Structures are given as C-alpha cells and as structure tokens.
Amino acid sequence: MKNYKIPMVPGPVRVTPVAYRSLTSDFGAGYCEDEFFELYQTVGKKLGILLGTQSEVIIQSGEAMSILWGAIKSCVLPGEKVLAISTGFFGEGFADMARAIHADAQLVEFGYDETVHDLDRIESAIKTYQPKVITIVHCETPSGTLNPISEVGQLKKKYNVPIMIVDAVASVACTEIEGDKWNADIVMGGSQKGLSLPPTIGFCSVSEQAWDIIRKVDYAGYEAFWSYHNIPQKHDHPNTPDWPGIAALNDVLDDLMINEGLSNVFARHQVVAEFVRKSLTEIGYRLFPKPEAIQSPSVTAVYVPADRTFEAFDQQVRTYGMGIGGSYGKIAGKVFRLGHMGTQATMTNARSAIDVLQQVI
C-alpha cells in the first residue's frame, strides 16, 4: 500500500500537515545563506529542550541510523571498549556497530521482553570492563519497551566512564527526555517517529566532554560529528543541508511546544498507549513485554496469534487498509507492533486499529 487508511507502523509515521508548507517551499542553498544558519541555531536550541540538555545539538541529513553510526565512529577508535546495555534488537546493534569498526564490545543483556533492572550486574560490568563508551536504547521499538536511563547514568558518573550514548529515536517527542539529568553525553533522535516528518533528518546532543573525545578521534566520514561543531558560528556546513526539512522541523517543534504544549503531548501518547494495551488484552491478544517491564508510550509489541504466521496476519490486517510493523532479531515473525506515536497517537486512530484487530483475531 502506498498509503495507510489506518497508519500504525512504528515509523515512519504519517507526515503532519503542519510540515507541508515548508516541505514544499522553494528554499535557496542553505550553505550560502545567513537565514539558514540562523534557523539551524534556532532549531538546535528547541531540540535541546526536547532532549533535556544545555549541550550543543547537531542536525544531519539522513535517516536516524546515520546519526547512530556517526556517534560510534566519531567517539570510538579500533580496540577501544564499548559496553552495550541491551534489552533488544537495537541494544544489540550498538555492539555490532562497534565491532564493525574493530572496537571491542561487550554486552550486558536482558531479555527482549524485559527492561533494565539488575543494576548490580551493570555496575559489575562497568567496574570489570572499564569501557570508554556505554550505549543504551531508551525506547526499544521491536519490543515495545522503555528503559530507565537515570540509574545507568549515575553509574556512568560514579565510575567516570567518558561517554554515554542514548538512542532516543523512538521516544523523542513521545515522552520526557532528560539528557543532562541522565548524565548522557550524546542523546540521539530522528525526524520520522514522534516528530511526524519524513525520514530525512537525524540529530543529537553532544556534551563538551564528548566534543573533546570527538576531536581526538578525528573521524572524517560523511556522518562525522566534528564537522558539525559550532556550525552557526562558523557559517560553514559540511554538505548540502536540508533547508526545507529543517524548516519543517522548526514548524513541528513550535506546534508541539507552543500550540499543544509538551506536557500535553506526552500525556496524549500515554493515554493512547494505555487504551491500546487495555483493549488488546480485552479482545484476546497477548502483550509481548513481561508484566514487570516498562512499556513504551510510543509503541506496543504484541504476540502474533498462534494459529498463523506474521505474514498471513499482516495480509489480513492490510485488507482493512491498516499498516502494522513486524519485529526483528530473536522475535522476528513472533511479534507485531503498533506505532502510536506522533500524528498516529490519537484516540480516533487507536479505536480504528482496535476495531480491525478485533475483526482479524
């Protein structure tokens, strides 16, 4: 399907009409114009509020995976140690990325249906392994879970781990992010989930300590962070910037922060998530996360009915014009996902989705 009548894929979500004007406007060459650099600085400050940080925020062209790769490549040299705290597919992915650039990676693994809970095990790993970088995923979308970050950040600070990287791609603009309180050095987001834009922009906060390490690593690839340091002050962009996309991001941020208010945005996501989960269990579905796990306000993971494959189930759902997501890694084919994030986090959309799921069970 080119379009979903009932969009519940957990990203990219349905693009918000708030963005249409900027996305279809005729902008000049951003790297030539003062207005672009002024906008870049303005949007960076607004994203800082969303990420809960006073640190500089950089904005890159490219889907959010680009910013994840940029963080690893910009902070880690071959042979250096990365401790990946994992509760699912993307948590494991950080270790894979580190090994791909010939760094040493160790996993502290929890079940895909769990959230971070055994802090003694994490503390022991930090003490024994002495990593340069800790990585953790805030919202593990394939599992529908939300990890507590603050306690891990306290351990990062206690043992003077130089860098903590947090993947908040699926939680930003859906729930509160507290980058500075978490002691996080890099908190990453993308445009295509809670911000309801096309998958063309990645962004992240970068602490002063992280900038010092990034400068020393001196990675020079496309997604390298160093070339984005102080862009507004330098009036120098490393490539052709996405001026329409950043202008649309500015419009969306104003809509969420000023028109709706972030507290209302977060409450809307929570209300819809609770309705979806309560309704699913009432009509006979089984939620994937364990009861004691923290479930995400932006995505729900559900077991596929036992009498059919995911592919068959997905085809049934599609006959109603509804889009859902499958899952990845160890739970591929066993779990489907509902993305109630951004424009899709409405009671109207949620009720329509539940009606379909009741028909196909």
Average pLDDT, the chain: 97
CATH number assigned to the domain comprising residue 327: 3.90.1150.10
228 and 347 within one domain: no
305-356 confidence digits (pLDDT tens): 999 999 999 999 999 999 999 999 999 999 999 999 999 999 999 999 999 9
Mean pLDDT of 107-114: 98
pLDDT at 169: 98
Q: Which amino acid, residue 133?
A: V
The structural domain count of the chain equals 2
Strands 6-7 and 186-190 turn out to be: unpaired
In terms of domains, do 117 and 244 share one? yes
d(CA 194, CA 298): 8
**Mean pLDDT, range 229-238, rounded to an integer:** 95
**From CA 47, how far away is CA 92, in angstroms rounded?**
27
Do 116 and 131 fall into the same domain? yes
Kindly state the percentage of the chain with pLDDT values over 90.
98
- Residues composing the chain: 361
pLDDT score, position 37: 97
Work out the average pLDDT over 215-220: 97
Write out pLDDT tens, residues 131-151: 999 999 999 999 999 999 999
Q: Are 232 and 41 in contact (CB under 8 A)?
A: yes
**Which amino acid type is present at position 269?**
H
Q: Is the pLDDT confidence value at 31 over 90? A: no
CATH number, domain with residue 29: 3.40.640.10
β-sheet bridge partners, residue 137: 167
Nearest to 338 by CA among 166, 201, 143: 143
Q: For 3-18, how does the pLDDT look when each residue is reduced to its tens digit (9 = 90+)?
A: 999 999 999 999 999 9
Q: Residue 294's domain spans which residues?
A: 6-13+262-360
Over residues 51-80, mean pLDDT: 97
Whether residue 344 sits in one domain with residue 284: yes
Residue 30 confidence (pLDDT): 86
Residue 266: CB atoms within 10 Å: 17
Task: Categorize the per-residue pLDDT at 32 as very low, low, confident or very high, splitting at 50, 70 and 90.
Answer: confident
3-state secondary structure of 360: helix
